[in-house]
Structure 1
Amino acid sequence: MPEIKVTPLGAGQDVGRSCIIVSIGGKNIMLDCGMHMGYNDDRRFPDFSYIVQNGRLTDFLDCVIISHFHLDHCGALPYMSEMVGYDGPIYMTHPTKAICPILLEDFRKITVDKKGETNFFTSQMIKDCMKKVIPLNLHQTVQGDYNMTPDRHLGAAWIDKCRPDILISESTYATTIRDSKRCRERDFLKKVHESIERGGKVFLNTHVDLLERMNLKAPIYFSTGLTEKANHYYKLFITWTNQKIRKTFVQRNMFEFKHIKAFDRSYADNPGPMVVFATPGMLHAGQSLQIFKKWAGNEKNMVIMPGYCVQGTIGHKILNGQRKLEMEGRATLDVKLQVEYMSFSAHADAKGIMQLIRMAEPRNMLLVHGEAVKMEFLKGKIEQEFSIDCYMPANGETTTVTTNPKVPVDMSLNLLKREMALGPLPDPKKPRIMHGTLIMKDNSLKLVSSEQALKELGLNEHQLRFTCRVQLHDPHSDPDTLRRIYTHLKSVLKGYAIQHLPDGTVMVESIVIKVSSSPEEANTKVILLSWSYQDEDLGSFLSTLLKKGLPSGL
């Protein structure tokens, strides 16, 4: 039986560096090639030694598919293609291709230019890597992170009831059930307003569009650079957003903010309240980390963490209540500001994951991109509710699923009517052979009559006939032997059209039977049978019947 093999090189019982190898139909496909934000050494990259010990990945991989532009899904791409070695195709959507190199270059600057780290890709490597990218439309790619709840910019995730052999799902929030989006937005606005009222500064990286309509008594800023560039592409790819935004963007583009100003680093020291939108959200580097360092010592200030933070990052530490942080150069930072967690993450919660399974109805389930303990809990729930096997392989561990492929084939109505006219209705317990031509058109298979296939494909018809010779011991003349064959077949084959023609042949359906004497032996007759492919079964039956000889009473 055919098999599907799935091996995580990253994100196996872990969040970050998403990289999954799927082996199917003799092809090896890499789904995502991300980076782990909690490490500053080689552990931040997927472990490619699981698939190649020495050598280039081109010899092993057939293609790479990147689901979206978050660094934990695309951050190791230049390292993989330019440093490890991969020259094959890389597929991603048009927005991902546009934004991905901006994020990669921004992170490279922080890692190499500011921190001085080595064993990292260069700007040229990013450019060379992106030359290998083939952009695709939305429904031609896989989806990495997904959310079953629509937000202000995107619609809810949705999938056909396709019943796949295996469904691979991220499980970042495997044990979380979120409040309604409206409740979370209301709490978010309330907390920002309270902090501003007491003279504090608020730092966040989500829902800046909500704040613009709030009429705050404090300035709202967004950090220039990465945020500004990304926002430009959000405007450019407005057609990829939800229906409401597409309908109204001519009157009001949601990504054009009238009351939000560009942020300058010097503003961080200004007195009085303000709101600043900056990235990255995990506070592991960049503008967000610099602002956090300046504001962390004031209890009036607030930081809002909108999503999951990988272990090892500043965001993860403060969410877990750590109030003293060791920074670069062993300096200690006291955290006095208010830390709030409000989930506006792109990831589905436990309820959303279960909803996706109900939609797709997979035969097997595989969880990645989650914490082991939480994944174990969700695994049990899935197996209990859906009665299917659920896997959660660690990095380097291969899960093998045996498949029973069924290829759906449409059938033309004319062919079905013809087959039904030939005999009784088919019995479900007794398979019946259908004679037709299988054609593929628009990625679907269809069984049609040979006449329809020739017409649709624009081909000329050629007749193919099978011929068989049977030697028969018979002392009679050739015409008498042919007459005896005709009589014998009439008695054996009831319900078949059998004709004795004037040209000295017998016809059984499309089968032609001729008799001639053997030149070596006078009493030996050579019977020649010829038939078309439609009557192959009948032709084989007649040749076997005649080899047994003719009854003596004829």
Structure 2
Amino acid sequence: MTIETLVLGAGQEVGKSCVVVTINGKRIMFDCGMHMGETDHRRYPDFQRISDSGDFNNALSCVIITHFHLDHVGALPYFTEVCGYSGPIYMTYPTKALSPLMLEDYRKVMVDRRGEEEQFTSDHIVECMKKVIALDLRQTVQVDEDLQIRAYYAGHVIGAAMFYAKVGDTEMVYTGDYNMTPDRHLGAAQIDRLRLDLLITESTYATTIRDSRYAREREFLKAVHKCVSSGGKVLIPTFALGRAQELCILLDDYWERMNLKVPIYFSSGLNHFLFNI
């Protein structure tokens, strides 16, 4: 058994998730994200470390995307349409449906509004998504005669998945982002009991002890109610698709229970959600 791991992004940083794992000669790229805080070459993973010659099709067995947030999928059109990767790409059906919307919204913001150099075009996004193979949760896919993969429910956002991969007798799981606490629109992550040779997990809050979800929601709603009751307005910018929808459900439920008549307005932009209460 031989396992090698090449971390191209999200190692000791938040953003640009991209890990290449080699298992008995099979190379799998997990996630292909961009770093939202960088504007130079550091925005994308250093793909040259996968193959000096740039022959990514022979260098990789497949690419797996865990969910549609840009720090996990943002570099994919660049990798396929600019760098030339044309091999299999796997993600869940919701991820395939929402990824092009996120990518096009990002492209418009960066190019049309900020005037940055275009890294990939709308056509690149379309052509990239044509290469994607969608799969269901818990569906086992035989990538080739030696490699099989399976997606497990990760919570976090709609379509997010943890991915199991097996080559011969060697087994591993890559989690991407996951959530073990259910919220108002998504359940907690679920996975089978497995005997793994390798586990790669996100650990953004691994050393952070946070209050319970209920305590945080209570403090949030208390602050909002206090402000609007005194005639004020509350603006809530949320920068992640999924979190905005959770806040909408939370506020709507609270408004109904408290019989509040103050209007709630929701901005529809993908990169910036705004509540004006």
User: Structures share a fold, TM > 0.5?
Assistant: yes
Q: Deviation per CA, 1:62-117, whole angstroms, max 9, x where unpaired?
A: 10000011111001100111111101010000000000000000000001111111
- How far the C-alpha of 1:212 sits from its partner, in A, is 1.3
Of 189, 206, 224, which residue of structure 2 is paired with 1:157? Answer: 189
- For structure 1, the 5+ residue unaligned runs are 227-278, 281-286, 292-300, 303-554
Q: Please show how residues 146-545 of structure 1 align to structure 2 within 5 Å.
A: 146-198=178-230, 199-205=232-238, 206=244, 207-215=247-255, 216-226=260-270, 279-280=271-272
- How far the C-alpha of 1:13 sits from its partner, in A, is 1.2
* Matching of residue 9 in structure 1 with residue 42 in structure 2: no
* 2:172 equivalent in structure 1: none
Q: 2:76, 2:128 within 8 Å by CA — same for their partners in 1?
A: yes
- How far the C-alpha of 1:190 sits from its partner, in A, is 0.8
* 1:95 equivalent in structure 2: 94
- How far the C-alpha of 1:119 sits from its partner, in A, is 4.6
Q: 2:89, 2:131 within 8 Å by CA — same for their partners in 1?
A: yes
Where relative contact order (Cα < 8 A, 6+ residues apart) is larger, the structure is 1
Q: Tell me the TM-score normalised to structure 1 length.
A: 0.40
Q: Please show how residues 33-52 of structure 1 align to structure 2 within 5 Å.
A: 33-52=32-51
C-alpha distance in 1 between matches for 2:90 and 2:134: 6
C-alpha distance in 2 between matches for 1:60 and 1:158: 32
SS of match in other structure, 1:85: coil
AA of the residue aligned to 1:174: A
Q: 1:36, 1:43 within 8 Å by CA — same for their partners in 2?
A: yes
Q: Deviation per CA, 1:405-424, whole angstroms, max 9, x where unpaired?
A: xxxxxxxxxxxxxxxxxxxx
C-alpha distance in 2 between matches for 1:33 and 1:197: 45
Q: Deviation per CA, 1:497-551, whole angstroms, max 9, x where unpaired?
A: xxxxxxxxxxxxxxxxxxxxxxxxxxxxxxxxxxxxxxxxxxxxxxxxxxxxxxx
- How far the C-alpha of 1:121 sits from its partner, in A, is 0.4
Inter-CA distance 129–75: structure 2 relative to 1 (3 Å threshold): same
- How far the C-alpha of 1:25 sits from its partner, in A, is 2.2
* 2:141 equivalent in structure 1: none
Q: Deviation per CA, 1:119-147, whole angstroms, max 9, x where unpaired?
A: 51000000000000000012222141011
AA of the residue aligned to 2:85: Y
* 2:18 equivalent in structure 1: 19
**Greater helix proportion:** 1
* 1:419 equivalent in structure 2: none
- For structure 2, the 5+ residue unaligned runs are 139-149, 152-162, 164-174, 239-243
Number of positions where the alignment pairs a residue of Structure 1 with one of Structure 2: 232
Q: Deviation per CA, 1:330-370, whole angstroms, max 9, x where unpaired?
A: xxxxxxxxxxxxxxxxxxxxxxxxxxxxxxxxxxxxxxxxx
Choose 1 or 2 for highest CA Rg: 1
Q: Tell me the TM-score normalised to structure 2 length.
A: 0.79
- How far the C-alpha of 1:172 sits from its partner, in A, is 0.6
**Percent identical across equivalent pairs?**
58
Root mean square deviation of aligned Cα? 1.9
SS of match in other structure, 1:72: helix
C-alpha distance in 1 between matches for 2:57 and 2:213: 44
SS of match in other structure, 1:138: coil
Q: 2:3, 2:22 within 8 Å by CA — same for their partners in 1?
A: yes
AA of the residue aligned to 2:209: I
